[in-house]
Amino acid sequence: MDVLLSIKPKYVKSILEGEKRYEFRKAIFRNRSVDRVFIYSSAPVKRIVALFEISKIIEDHPSVLWDQVQDYAGINDTEFFSYFEGRSLGYAIGIRNLKEFDTPLNPREEIPGFVPPQSYCYLDNTNDLIRQTTL
């Protein structure tokens, strides 16, 4: 199972540069059989720019998450704790085998009825997406 994650361009850049090796979420996929993530870089980019495999998902209190992943967070502690403010549970999605697309995909052309997800959405027929890219 694959998902499409909406990620702000500044964090996408940090992921692509290898500084950010975890993507943080307040909520996680209900279907835990997800193993690949397509990265949708939100406005102003509005393109699917890469994909990665999930190495692991850490579920814990934000302070515990930070202790475990701060060296690979790609963000500072102020941003991290601001994001998780008021939450007793957070998720860190480990990024492995990152593949940046040579030509980012316009999802409106590739996915019928595409609406950018607020957080994530499940994807079908992703092999068609992969075939259209040069990795």
For the stretch 1-53, pLDDT in tens is 899 999 999 999 999 999 999 999 999 988 878 999 999 999 999 999 999 99
Integer Cα distance of 11 and 42 in angstroms: 10
Condensed to tens digits (0 to 9), the pLDDT of residues 60-119 reads 999 999 999 999 999 999 999 999 999 999 999 999 999 999 999 999 888 878 888 888
Domain 2-131: top CATH class: mainly beta
| 129 vs 125, residue with greater confidence | 125
Residue 121 CA: distances (Å) to CA of 69, 70, 78, 107: 25, 27, 28, 13
Picking from 91, 29, 85, the residue whose alpha carbon sits closest to that of residue 64 is: 91
Half-sphere exposure in the Cβ direction for 69 (13 Å, CA): 28
Predicted pLDDT of residue 130? 55
Q: What is the pLDDT of residue 131?
A: 47
| pTM reported for the whole predicted model | 0.90
Q: Is the pLDDT of residue 134 over 60?
A: no
Structure confidence at residue 123 as a pLDDT band (50, 70, 90): confident
- Domain ranges in the chain? 2-131
